[in-house]
Amino acid sequence: MKNPDSTPAAGGPQITRRSVLRGALNTAGGLAAFAAAVSPLRDLDRDELTLERFLQKHYKEMTPDEKDRALQRIAAEVERRYAARPELRDLPAMDGVEFAYALNLGRCIGCRRCVHACVAENNQSRDPEVQYIRVLELPRGSVDVERADHYYDRPAVPDPDHFYMPVQCHQCANPPCVKVCPVEATWQEPDGVTVIDYDWCIGCRYCEAACPYFARRFNFAEPSVPREKLNTDMTYLSNRPRRKGVMEKCHFCLQRTRAGRMPACLEVCPVGARNFGNLLDPDSQVAQILKTKHVLVLKQEANTLPRFFYYFDEDFPRNRGSAPARGSEAHRKGLSLTVLNPQAAQSLPGRGRGGPA
């Protein structure tokens, strides 16, 4: 052996220039790797490492006093970041109210106004863009979400060969996302809305994987909301600004709906395809729709029991195509289907549910 340094010496390890250099190089490399690995910590600002924040309890375990203090802390943080004093409050669920949504697929034209009204209302990140609502464009004839496209970009909508299906959080009565949460940061409120405690979420994204509707969004980057675009009307469980690394999703605009107002996506819909209301009130919009329309839910086989219903108008020419000519086979078939009694259909020509063709 030419090099005596590398042979095991009898009297323990010898310190040579080579071993010192090698050790120094490895230590420097190791430190560099460690520093790079922990470098995201540099992005933390002082609001993220406060004792109050660290010791804050879960939303459901906080006493009213603790809740007030948490709200004040968050409001101060928001004011520091956005230079606007938010009206941050905590709105509890109302008694005897169960929110539900119904969407008329025959009316929706896929204009995406709801998507952006939601972004503006709920302080979602603009860059990178976080959107709660996805509008699917589906070929006419079936509800086949495998053939849906949510990146459609046409000069004008609606396209005559397609129909449009906005998908957002379905506020399931049997929510898979709540079951998988390892820290119980998401739960179902008494009014049926599944909410997230953004301060309790650890960002594991299990709920995102569990949701069959792709309704949950993760903040991969620090959300950016322009100061002048911040919606200052906010509640703890709904649209207060989120941080990087937490989940968020549609919450039926709790800051509006628990104060009695309609959700933002509904008010902006130019064709009135969206309906919202209290499922337990028999006179509400959604209760009327469930009573009088043929309602479907998306991915019924997942047994999620959504509180978000889709329906088609029974008699709307856009969905029916051209009406069959009177006296034709298709027309008689349609009559026998609608009237159910062939004799009655024979005696009342052209008197089907749709009226004369």
Partner 1 sequence: MSTAQPSTRGAWVAALMGPAFASLAAWFIWGPALTRLPVGKPAVVPDAALSTAARRTTVGDPPTILINNFRRTCTDCHRIFDVAARPEGDRLQHAHVKLEHGINDRCQNCHNYRNMNELVLYDGGAVTYSEAPRLCQKCHGLIFEDWERGIHGRVSGAWTSELGPVQRLRCIECHDPHQPRHPAMDPLQPLPGPATLRMGTPPAGGAHAPELREGDPLRRALLHPQLSGNNRTERAQHEKP
- Min CB(225)–partner 1 separation in Å: 11
Among 73, 126, 299, 331, interactor with partner 1 by CB under 8 A: 126
Which contiguous run of DSSP H or E holds residue 75? Answer: helix 64-82
Residue 267 interacts with partner 1 (CB under 8 A): yes or no: yes
Using CB under 8 A, which of 64, 141, 155, 321 touches partner 1? Answer: 155
Contacts to partner 1 from residues 215-244, by CB under 8 A: 217-218
Which one-letter amino acid corresponds to residue 318?
R
Q: Examine residue 52 and tell whether it contacts partner 1 (CB under 8 A).
A: no
Task: Name the nearest CA neighbour of 199 among 253, 236, 224, 239.
Answer: 236
**Looking at 42-50, 64-72, 80-88, 255-263, which segment touches partner 1 (CB under 8 A)?**
255-263
CB of residue 202 to partner 1, shortest distance in Å: 18
Per CB under 8 A, 300 contacts partner 1: no
Between 74 and 289, CB nearer to partner 1 = 289
Q: Which is nearer to partner 1, 153 or 329 (CB)?
A: 153
- With contacts defined by CB under 8 A, name the span among 41-49, 196-204, 287-295, 336-344 that binds partner 1: 287-295
- Told to check if 112 binds partner 1 by CB under 8 A, we report yes
Show the tokens assigned to 155: 């000069």
> Contact between 115 and partner 1 (CB under 8 A)?
yes
Q: Which of 82, 98, 110, 195 binds partner 1 (CB under 8 A)?
A: 110
Residue 294 found at the interface with partner 1 (CB under 8 A): no
**Are the CB atoms for 357 and 348 separated by under 8 Å?**
no
Query: What are 234's two structure tokens?
Result: 């906010």
Q: Scan residues 7-46 and list those touching partner 1 (CB under 8 A).
A: 7-8, 22, 25-26, 28-30, 32-33, 35-37, 39
CA-based torsion, 230, 235, 236, 238: positive or negative: negative
Nearer Cβ to partner 1 (100/178)? 100
Toward partner 1, which CB reaches closer, 111 or 143? Answer: 111
Q: Which two tokens stand for residue 322?
A: 């051209």
User: Least distance from C-beta 150 to partner 1, angstroms?
Assistant: 7
Q: Does 76 bind partner 1 (CB under 8 A)?
A: no
Among 109, 178, 196, 201, binds partner 1 (CB under 8 A): 109
> For 292-331, b where at least 16 C-beta lie within 10 A, e where not — what string?
ebeeeebeeebebebbbbbbbeeeeeeeeeeebeeeeeeb
- The SS3 assignment for 136 reads strand
> Applying CB under 8 A, does 103 fall inside the site for partner 1?
no
Cα–Cα distance measured from residue 225 to residue 81, given in angstroms and rounded to the nearest whole number: 10
Closest CA to 241 of 57, 43, 83, 49: 83
Min separation Cβ 14 and partner 1, Å: 12
Q: Whose CA is closest to 253, among 96, 113, 62, 91?
A: 91
Give the nearest distance from C-beta 70 to partner 1 in angstroms.
Answer: 27
Cβ proximity to partner 1, 47 vs 208, nearer residue: 208
Tokens, residue 175: 């929510």
Does position 152 interact with partner 1 (CB under 8 A)? The reply is: yes
Q: How far apart are CA 222 and CA 203, in angstroms?
A: 13
Helices (H), 187-233: 206-210
**Running DSSP on this structure, what letter comes out for residue 311?**
E
- Beta bridge mates, 87: 233
Decide if residue 169 touches partner 1 (CB under 8 A). Answer: no
* 207 in contact with partner 1 (CB under 8 A): no
CA distance 78 to 234: 11
182 binds partner 1 (CB under 8 A): no
Residue 138 φ then ψ, to 5°: -120, 145
Pairing of strands 186-188, 194-196: antiparallel
Choose one: 76-84, 285-293, 294-302, 334-342; the region binding partner 1 (CB under 8 A).
285-293
